[in-house]
Chain A
Amino acid sequence: MVKNKGTTPLAFDEMMNADSSPRQPYSTYHEWYASQDRNRLIAKSKEAENIFRKTGITFAVYGHADSSEKLIPFDLIPRIISGREWRKLAQGIEQRVIALNAFLDDIYHKQEIIRAGRVPRELIEKNVAFLPQMIGFRPPGGVYTHIVGTDIVRTGEDQFYVLEDNARTPSGVSYMLENRETMMQMFPELFHQNRVRPVENYPNLLRQSLASLAPPGCSGKPRVAVLTPGIYNSAYYEHAFLADMMGVELVEGSDLRVIDGKVKMRTTRGYEAIDVLYRRVDDDFLDPLTFRPDSALGIPGIMDVYRAGNITIANAPGTGISDDKAIYSYMPEIVEFYTGRKPLLENVPTWRCSEPQSLKYVLEHLEELVVKEVHGSGGYGMLVGPTASKKERAVFAEKLKARPTNYIAQPTLSLSTVPILVNKGIAPRHVDLRPYVLVSDKVQIIPGGLTRVALKAGSLVVNSSQGGGTKDTWVLED
């Protein structure tokens, strides 16, 4: 008998109906779960942790003493999405990603959306993520966002919202792959009973997708490499994992040099050219000659090579302008402007604190809103109104008044829940979803993604840096 304990009253649970029957996508899984011995599952849970630890699937938490490598907790109850639900999501995501690329091409060329008065000029041109160096330059194949991780939240049976478009260097895909691998190792029988769509070919698709966008100056078979900031970066494991799975070199800035108009890497046989660079280094650090002169992570002169058409950089520099939180609030207009259709997926209603009316509203309703920094990420520098103390809200209100343009606010959504395994059985916890999208001459959405789960009862913060965990995400064939 499965019971939900401590359910947040208004949250939509994806596994259980209010009458304690399982929702349809979970029916086969639920039957299996009910037949399981709890102690076995708890033992399996420990086994999973051991697998992750010995494989070294870790991430670094900045500023955390004595634990430079942490495990992201893995919960072994899968998050299950029906084929019907997925098709709806996938169409919406595809529409959005196409719009993002069209938007980027437009603002770095004709700027029609600005001239049409749909997005304010200063929001683009005064934005630090807008790179003047990209004006008038079209990346190979016209693709700006080769890899996108669209963050989605759910609040009801048919209510999905896009929370963020991660169009720079979305991370977490290695967890999607390792979570699936671990589940298949531990519970092979579940994959016989449920028709789960595969995610394992992601590295292959990624390599093909990147190689298909080789620059005009590439002759012969395109050579792909992954650029990492290095072993101390929080996502180093993922960089190494992806390079390994794709069978390409994992390079650091110090391995690379511009020679004869090409970016080349120092190998044991001498310098060899790279055609496509999947960089996991931020724009600022990419080229000390063009951007931050103190960057030791980048390659001096790579932007010149890029503009001369001798290397593809994925994602393109300057894509950050499209996933900026201030731009986010304009996404419905952006989607409609470029696709000619209403957005299939909704935006979370967003107040721009830069607008006096909105700021006033936000300050008056702080206890019910989530306030985010426009340029922040990873759950840092945000205020979750309902769970913050009076004092925290007062301190934040001062920050808001001092720099209103730096903030946006959104209602606290009642995120859907999926149960996690706890000592006494299962208990519902809030989740979000990050599917991964590859863009080349086509848009490919991997059926699955990374489900992040807030492990603390009632918590809405799913970020791994703030105590969140992950789940395997199943998209069913139906």
Chain B
Amino acid sequence: MLGRTANGLYWMFRYIERAENSARLIDAGLRMALTRSEATEGDWDGVLQSAGVRELYDEVHETLTSIDAIDFLLRDRANPSSVMSCIEAGRHNARMVRTALTRETWEATNECYLEMKAVLSKKARPTDMPEIIDTIKRRAGLIRGAFHGTMLRNEIFNFSRIGTFIERADNTARILDVKYYVLLPAVAAVGSSMDNVQWESILRSVSAHRAYGWVYDAELRPANIADFLISNGRMPRSLAYCYEKIASNLGYLEREYGERHAAHDTADRTLASLRSQSIKDIMDEGLHEYLEDFISHNNRLGQEISDGYRFN
């Protein structure tokens, strides 16, 4: 396969993953706004931070309002992580690697783009938001379904999956890092209802508020939330799950090519530490430092994969 094609697949799936993540963050933000009586601009501050676009927002807007924040996350082309920017970039990459995709996967991606372009052609009214979020999730689900149902499990599949999980690990780590202080033991002891809202919003940001209850006590506990999102190998957005998948897809490539790169060692090392470290150790040593470290290693892995497989 061409190095450029591997690169295109990797980024196509990173962008689609990011589009969904941005939509989920908006969803969590809206939900938080609903559960309060007073003004909620402060919550959007956190949402923008989770999306990693807080500073960019300030370059475009003078004040922080929920309407502007939603528009910025949803459809602003100036924000490369907005839902529309990501869908456009994902589809652009898909066009570049069209010969590597099944007709079903391409069409699902193209139709996602066509529908979202129509839906997001003008500023969304607050009353339309639930339907818009729903459309994004449904469209992303259709791409995933077409991809899983029709693609051969070969190198094309591996590079696509690696892109998906590098992006997802990055997203989950950022969400946790932005809210790390509400998970600290000292704060947890307070256990105010305010924190409950924050904790729930973390779970909603990763679509895990229901699943949490299946695994842990119904009551939200910070250590359990962190454990769920970092170490739980069955939670599809946890760092451990993402790295299981990254390592196994890299493993397929290693066996098929008969070639091992720096990326393999990095991924295996990260996975081993995710498996062995307890959440207590992580919290004791500093959640924030741990996550910062993780994000930078994750970025480095992306670069090593790009180098090893001659993306450019």
Name A's B-contacting residues (CB within 8 A).
Answer: 53-56, 231, 236, 240, 243-244, 249-252, 254-255, 265-270
The answer to whether A54 and B107 touch (CB under 8 A), given A250-B99, A268-B1, is yes
8 A Cβ contacts from B58-105 to A:
92, 95-96, 98-99, 103
Q: Cβ of B4 and Cβ of A252 under 8 Å apart?
A: yes
Residues of B near A266 (CB, < 8 A) are 2-4, 310
CB of B114, distance to nearest CB on chain A (Å): 7
Q: Cβ of A251 and Cβ of B2 under 8 Å apart?
A: yes
CB of A130, distance to nearest CB on chain B (Å): 34
CB of A284, distance to nearest CB on chain B (Å): 23
How long is the Cα–Cα vector from A306 to B127 in the complex, in angstroms?
A: 64
Residues of B near A250 (CB, < 8 A) are 98-99
Q: Does any Cβ of A come within 8 Å of B136's Cβ?
A: no
B203-246 toward A: CB 8 Å interface, digit per residue (1/0)? 00000000000000000000000000000000000000000000
Contact of A268 among B3, B95, B106 (CB under 8 A): B3
**Nearest B residue to A268 by beta-carbon distance?**
B309
The answer to whether A231 and B95 touch (CB under 8 A), given A255-B3, A266-B2, A268-B155, is yes
**Nearest B residue to A246 by beta-carbon distance?**
B99
Q: Cβ of A267 and Cβ of B3 under 8 Å apart?
A: yes
Contact of A255 among B4, B92, B111 (CB under 8 A): B4
Given contacts A240-B99, A268-B257, 17 further A-B pairs with CB under 8 A are A54-B111, A56-B110, A231-B95, A236-B95, A240-B98, A249-B99, A250-B99, A254-B4, A265-B2, A266-B4, A267-B2, A267-B3, A268-B1, A268-B159, A268-B309, A268-B310, A269-B259
CB of A76, distance to nearest CB on chain B (Å): 21
How long is the Cα–Cα vector from A363 to B99 in the complex, in angstroms?
A: 51
How long is the Cα–Cα vector from A268 to B253 in the complex, in angstroms?
A: 10
Residues of A near B4 (CB, < 8 A) are 252, 254-255, 266
Q: Does any Cβ of A come within 8 Å of B6's Cβ?
A: yes
How long is the Cα–Cα vector from A258 to B95 in the complex, in angstroms?
A: 27
Residues of A near B309 (CB, < 8 A) are 268
CB of A256, distance to nearest CB on chain B (Å): 10
8 A Cβ contacts from B96-131 to A:
96, 98-99, 103, 106-107, 110-111, 114
How long is the Cα–Cα vector from A231 to B155 in the complex, in angstroms?
A: 23
How long is the Cα–Cα vector from A55 to B310 in the complex, in angstroms?
A: 30
Q: What is the count of residue pairs linking A and B with beta-carbon distances less than 8 angstroms?
A: 56
How long is the Cα–Cα vector from A243 to B110 in the complex, in angstroms?
A: 19
Name B's A-contacting residues (CB within 8 A).
Answer: 1-6, 92, 95-96, 98-99, 103, 106-107, 110-111, 114, 155, 159, 253, 257, 259, 309-310
Q: Cβ of B310 and Cβ of A267 under 8 Å apart?
A: yes
CB of B241, distance to nearest CB on chain A (Å): 25
Residues of A near B310 (CB, < 8 A) are 266-268, 270
Q: Cβ of B257 and Cβ of A269 under 8 Å apart?
A: yes
Which secondary structure dominates chain A's binding surface?
A: mixed
Which of A53, A236, A268, A270 has its CB near the most chain B CB atoms (within 10 A)?
A268
A-B contact pairs, 20 of them (CB 8 A): A54-B110, A55-B107, A56-B106, A56-B107, A231-B95, A231-B96, A236-B95, A240-B95, A249-B99, A255-B2, A255-B3, A255-B4, A266-B2, A268-B1, A268-B2, A268-B3, A268-B6, A268-B155, A268-B159, A268-B309
Residues of A near B6 (CB, < 8 A) are 268
**Nearest A residue to B253 by beta-carbon distance?**
A268
How long is the Cα–Cα vector from A78 to B257 in the complex, in angstroms?
A: 49
Q: Cβ of B2 and Cβ of A53 under 8 Å apart?
A: no
Q: Cβ of B257 and Cβ of A53 under 8 Å apart?
A: no
Which of A56, A231, A243, A254 has its CB near the most chain B CB atoms (within 10 A)?
A56
**Nearest B residue to A251 by beta-carbon distance?**
B2
**Nearest B residue to A266 by beta-carbon distance?**
B3
Q: Cβ of B99 and Cβ of A243 under 8 Å apart?
A: yes
CB of A229, distance to nearest CB on chain B (Å): 13
Residues of A near B98 (CB, < 8 A) are 56, 240, 244, 250
**Nearest A residue to B158 by beta-carbon distance?**
A268
Residues of B near A251 (CB, < 8 A) are 2
**Nearest A residue to B7 by beta-carbon distance?**
A268
The answer to whether A267 and B1 touch (CB under 8 A), given A54-B114, A243-B99, is yes
CB of A204, distance to nearest CB on chain B (Å): 16
Residues of B near A231 (CB, < 8 A) are 92, 95-96
How long is the Cα–Cα vector from A270 to B259 in the complex, in angstroms?
A: 11
Which of B5, B92, B98, B155 has its CB near the most chain A CB atoms (within 10 A)?
B98
How long is the Cα–Cα vector from A56 to B3 in the complex, in angstroms?
A: 24
How long is the Cα–Cα vector from A251 to B97 in the complex, in angstroms?
A: 10
CB of B152, distance to nearest CB on chain A (Å): 13
Q: Which A-B residue pairs are the 7 nearest by beta carbons? A: A268-B309, A244-B99, A240-B98, A266-B3, A268-B6, A56-B110, A243-B99
Residues of B near A270 (CB, < 8 A) are 310
Residues of B near A55 (CB, < 8 A) are 103, 107, 110
Residues of A near B111 (CB, < 8 A) are 54
CB of A200, distance to nearest CB on chain B (Å): 15
How long is the Cα–Cα vector from A240 to B98 in the complex, in angstroms?
A: 7
Residues of B near A53 (CB, < 8 A) are 114
Residues of B near A267 (CB, < 8 A) are 1-3, 310
CB of B146, distance to nearest CB on chain A (Å): 12
How long is the Cα–Cα vector from A135 to B96 in the complex, in angstroms?
A: 37
How long is the Cα–Cα vector from A54 to B159 in the complex, in angstroms?
A: 25
CB of A185, distance to nearest CB on chain B (Å): 13
CB of B58, distance to nearest CB on chain A (Å): 29
Residues of A near B2 (CB, < 8 A) are 249, 251, 255, 265-268
